[in-house]
Structure 1
Amino acid sequence: MVTMTQQRATARRDEIIRAAAAEFDEVGYAAASLSSIAARLGRTKGAMSYHFSSKASLAQEVAEYHFRQWDGVLAGIRADGYVGLETMIVVSFVVAIRYRDDLLVRASIRLQHDAGLREVKLPPPYVWWTAMTRSLLAEGQEAGQIDADVDLDAAAEVLVEAFTGVQLVAHSMSHAQDIFERVERYWLLLLPGIGVADGPALVSRLGAASAEY
């Protein structure tokens, strides 16, 4: 049984994580400090030390938040019957929505792109996404969704590289408020390159479907 003390400790820990995420999202890892995070909470740095002993441990927790959710998202999309390229497009819009609306996702992704984050051991951010993208492209190729002669390795790398750029530019230009529209443009420009002729209809349908996840 979870005691009231444990509940309070969990709530306090979550509060600290969200404050850290807000700080990392706003100023980046290098400029953030335990003192500035504590100030957001109206607490002293010492009051946070029971839960997190360093800025690096907080960054680790925030960054790993991003990785913990996508297996479940993918499983839900697949359970609804989407395959291959369809799955990949829906996932991209789910990422866009969460990047725009979920502070922890936005801070996590920013930390993964932060050149100043050298003291925290994180999963390589692009390895999993590139492997997932290639797998879905291969599935889409088998289903006739994309051209049979598409180089899957090259396509997966380009799609992930370009999507990373979309995230970075959206954060810089609008604090990610226009990222959904940027992802729409991303697909409309790139889909013809892999042999998809009905891009506008596909993007419109799957972008709308992403709101379910």
Structure 2
Amino acid sequence: MTQQRASARRDEIIRAAAAEFDEAGYAGASLSSIAARLGRTKGAMSYHFSSKASLAHEVAEYHFTQWEGVHAAVRADGYVGLEAMILLSFVVATRFRDDVLVRAGIRLQHDAGLRDVKLPPPYVWWTGLTHKLLEEGRELGQIPANVDLGDAAEVLVEAFTGVQLVAHSQSRAQDIYERIERYWALFLPGLGVADGAELVKRLGAASAEY
């Protein structure tokens, strides 16, 4: 098998595993069910992955590692502070809606059956980044001094996670864009932004570039 074919086959298996984890959870998925999605046998997959745990790790790694690049691209285009945070929220939300690898990676973070796979601690990176962007927003005069940035970062990440989970449960995340607009309509006044509707619409539209 050539390196290019092997890489394509590996990616195909990871995506099939993500679809299975997304639908059945880690405990409900099996190598047999993943192989069935591909129309192959477990033996045909063993060249690339020897266990369900190794597949879960790959799916989670895809989810965790992509966001630094997205954040870098957003900053390279000049978005900082509160604007970068709002823009990123729409990018994450639409990828959650459209990319099964993102949905599966997030589901694996919450899966109680996932005991034999070591994953990075969930939410730590996002909470740290949110705090950093809030600090930038304060320096730019977007956020008043009386806002507790540590508390704000934690609550924003906690609530955003809830939006994802409820959207997935209620509509398979088809309405998550609208839910994120509502999320910001409720939270921006608490961050000192009295009228952020136009800002949110502009950044939501700009998120399609990422």
- TM-score band by shorter chain is over 0.9
Q: Which residue of 49, 55, 80 maps to 1:52?
A: 49
How far the C-alpha of 1:125 sits from its partner, in A, is: 1.5
Please state how far the C-alpha of 1:35 moved relative to its aligned partner: 0.5
5+ residue gaps, structure 2, are: none
Which secondary structure does the structure 2 equivalent of 1:29 belong to? helix
Q: Distance in 2 between matches of 1:81 and 1:39?
A: 46
1:147 deviation in Å?
A: 1.5
1:207 and 2:204 aligned: yes
Per-residue deviation at 1:106? 1.2
User: Of 15, 20, 29, which residue of structure 1 is paired with 2:17?
Assistant: 20
- Equivalent residue, structure 1, for 2:66: 69
1:139-171 CA deviation, whole Å, 9 max, x = no partner? 101111111111011000000000000010011
- Which residue pairs with 1:181 in the alignment? 178
Q: TM-score, normalised by structure 1?
A: 0.96
Q: How far apart are residue 71 of structure 1 and its match?
A: 1.2
Whether 2:2 is the aligned partner of 1:5: answer yes
Q: Deviations over 1:99-122 (max 9, x none)?
A: 111111111111112122121111
CA deviations 1:188-211 (Å, max 9, x no partner) are 001111111121111111111111
Deviations 1:77-96, CA, capped at 9 Å, x for gaps: 11111110100000000001
Kindly state the Cα deviation for residue 24 of structure 1 after the two structures are TM-superposed: 0.5
1:128 aligns with 2:125: yes
State the Cα distance separating 1:68 from its structure 2 match: 1.4
SS in 2 for 1:36: helix
Query: Structure 1 residue 98 and structure 2 residue 95: aligned?
Result: yes
Q: What TM-score do the two structures reach when normalised by structure 2?
A: 0.97
Unaligned runs of 5+ residues in structure 1 are none
Identity over aligned pairs, percent:
82
SS of structure 2 residue aligned to 1:43: coil
Letter in 1 for 2:158: E
Supply the AA of the counterpart residue of 2:112.
A
Match of 2:166 in 1: 169
CA distance in 1, matches of 2:113, 2:166: 18
Write the deviation string for residues 1-54 of structure 1: whole angstroms up to 9, x where unpaired.
xxx611111111111101101100111111000010011111111111111111
Structure 1 stretches of 4+ with a deviation exceeding 2 A read none
Larger mean CA deviation between 45-54 and 155-164 belongs to: 45-54
The aligned counterpart of 1:194 is: 191
CA distance in 1, matches of 2:205, 2:195: 16
Displacement of 1:127 in angstroms is: 0.4
